[in-house]
A and B are shown apart, each in its own frame.
Chain A
């Protein structure tokens, strides 16, 4: 390949930051996603780019507590990527947090890689808490983890889980939601990446899951709808969760983040065609040019 791809070595801190600082982290994550995908030659572009700002706020604005020098630190918060196909954005976030060498991103989807096409816990990439990819299961795993923390170990750890919005068509998602409410898991934060796209088209055309906010409310969640590309608004959503946990309200939180699939790359933005496609070399060059 004449097209040279290199991953940087810069990593970022996890602390309250200004929107401008967060924007530069997000840009690096998006660039890494493009590089990983063009090298892999397959994979999902749209969802990872669309949820990058969510991951940036989660991992780099002090919401997730982790120690990149000790990924298995007992006191860490946990994140479960229920929408396993969005793995590239999680891998990029973990790499930029310093959990593993960023150069390893070049191995996405390759033979024997720790960066499996969908997260595989057996490969042991630091920060990957569970395998996922069969939709509608990660959220139940996260509920189980939150039960362990809140009901058995009585600690103050938090469990975050991100699902897609098409994923809400899986009935077991609502079984999990029901139980998060039943067990009063105010240490559980469900983030819904609402980009309104799935492989076959727009949500209402494939199977209408709306209204999402009202459904989550009816299932007993404290809900907050945010602009998924505005860091201040995203943090407002996370603050609702942190307050629920701090004040022991007994209510689980659902953050419904309105996003655009493919955000940051003009020809991918809000197009469901980019759900499951990687950029080719020319497209990657153009995308990286836009993400300067």
Chain B
């Protein structure tokens, strides 16, 4: 397996913007709809390059989503991007009926996702949309872990036929996958091998999981780290194999702990091979203002939380009972 290496830092939204331009060059029926924040979600790059295929819809996400459905029913491949708070939930019924029920070939780019948006506060931080989107029939949903994967995932959903959503963030995150790194819809990737515990993550928490695995290794614990960018379709096989071979699982995501990636993993293993599981994510609360790192600390979206959760899950597996959680958290604190 690859060694943990960071090549720099870049926001995933840059990968979306660059991927869109590549798609625009390859396919002349790719069109983009703007929702007034094109600079933030990087559709401005496409706008500059292909002004005839860019349409500004203004601050009207319901309309933009549904216009996209009309364009798709006319053979176009429309992308609409905004903040995830507005293009996944405000337009929920439009996504459900006009996009998914119609099986319209519409692509949505949800930016500024999770709490790492920072100072804007809870209204602009979206922590619930993965739960909603993955219940929609016909929907494809990807949560890339870094710039490079976001770029590849954008191209992949553009070339796939059917409704699709890509979730990306505002702040720079470590860049650790390379252009050669394999990405495919419906596939998870084992980034680090190990059989003591499985850490399954998506988005910004993949890097944190890799760091947690390094720290666990110092204690002699070999963690398997799985990057699961494709929330739907979901790679059941890789997840169930991890349950069988590791016997305990920790999931990590910058999202509510309810019904997101953790939910998908739980559904998969409960049916096939139940094992103790711990969930790292936001625990049923709204976000707030602050610097991204402060918020990630506050809401427990760190490698330390993953590290502690791994010890808890392993204890539950080995002893069949809950450990002293406070003590384990203290251990995790000192591990840094």
Q: Mark A47-88, 1 if CB is under 8 A from B, else 0.
A: 000000000000000000000000000000000000000000
Q: Is the CB of A122 within 8 A of B62?
A: no
Give the contact stretch, choosing among A107-115, A139-147, A246-254.
A139-147
A166 within 8 A of B: no
**B: number of interface residues (CB 8 Å):** 29
Known A130-B69, A148-B76; judge A137-B94 contact (CB<8 A): yes
B57 within 8 A of A: yes
* A residues in contact with B97, CB < 8 Å: 131-134, 137
User: CA separation between A140 and B60, bound complex, in Å?
Assistant: 11
Distance (Å) between the CB of A125 and the closest chain B CB? 14
* A residues in contact with B102, CB < 8 Å: 121-122, 130-131
* Contact for A131 among B63, B75, B98, CB less than 8 A: B98
Q: Is the CB of A148 within 8 A of B70?
A: yes
Distance (Å) between the CB of A220 and the closest chain B CB? 14
Most buried by B among A133, A137, A153: A137
Give the contact stretch, choosing among A5-13, A176-184, A221-229, A237-245.
A176-184
Known A120-B101, A175-B62; judge A149-B69 contact (CB<8 A): no
Chain A residues engaging chain B, CB cutoff 8 angstroms:
120-122, 129-134, 136-137, 140-149, 151-153, 172, 175-176, 178-179, 182-183
Q: Is the CB of A175 within 8 A of B98?
A: no
User: CA separation between A152 and B74, bound complex, in Å?
Assistant: 10
Q: Is the CB of B63 within 8 A of A175?
A: yes
Q: Is the CB of B63 within 8 A of A140?
A: yes
* B residues in contact with A147, CB < 8 Å: 55, 67, 70-71
Q: Is the CB of B63 within 8 A of A176?
A: yes
Closest 8 CB pairs of A and B: A144-B70, A140-B66, A148-B74, A175-B63, A144-B67, A141-B70, A175-B60, A145-B70
User: CA separation between A178 and B67, bound complex, in Å?
Assistant: 12
* A residues in contact with B53, CB < 8 Å: 152
User: CA separation between A11 and B88, bound complex, in Å?
Assistant: 45
Known A131-B98, A131-B101, A147-B55; judge A141-B63 contact (CB<8 A): no
A-B contact pairs, 27 of them (CB 8 A): A122-B101, A130-B98, A130-B102, A131-B101, A131-B102, A137-B93, A140-B65, A141-B69, A141-B73, A141-B98, A143-B70, A144-B69, A144-B70, A144-B71, A144-B74, A146-B70, A147-B55, A147-B67, A147-B70, A148-B74, A148-B76, A149-B74, A152-B76, A179-B58, A179-B60, A179-B63, A183-B55
* A residues in contact with B76, CB < 8 Å: 148, 152
User: CA separation between A146 and B74, bound complex, in Å?
Assistant: 9
Distance (Å) between the CB of B34 and the closest chain A CB? 12
* B residues in contact with A144, CB < 8 Å: 66-74, 78
Closest to B33 in A: A144
User: CA separation between A17 and B76, bound complex, in Å?
Assistant: 36
Closest to A182 in B: B58
User: CA separation between A142 and B102, bound complex, in Å?
Assistant: 14
* A residues in contact with B103, CB < 8 Å: 121-122
B199 within 8 A of A: no
B131 within 8 A of A: no
User: CA separation between A100 and B57, bound complex, in Å?
Assistant: 37
Q: Is the CB of A179 within 8 A of B67?
A: yes
B31 within 8 A of A: yes
* B residues in contact with A178, CB < 8 Å: 58, 60, 63
Distance (Å) between the CB of A32 and the closest chain B CB? 26
Most buried by A among B57, B73, B78: B73
Distance (Å) between the CB of B131 and the closest chain A CB? 21
* B residues in contact with A149, CB < 8 Å: 74
User: CA separation between A146 and B70, bound complex, in Å?
Assistant: 8
* B residues in contact with A120, CB < 8 Å: 101
* A residues in contact with B75, CB < 8 Å: 148
* A residues in contact with B70, CB < 8 Å: 130, 140-148
Distance (Å) between the CB of B63 and the closest chain A CB? 4
User: CA separation between A132 and B98, bound complex, in Å?
Assistant: 7
Distance (Å) between the CB of A92 and the closest chain B CB? 23
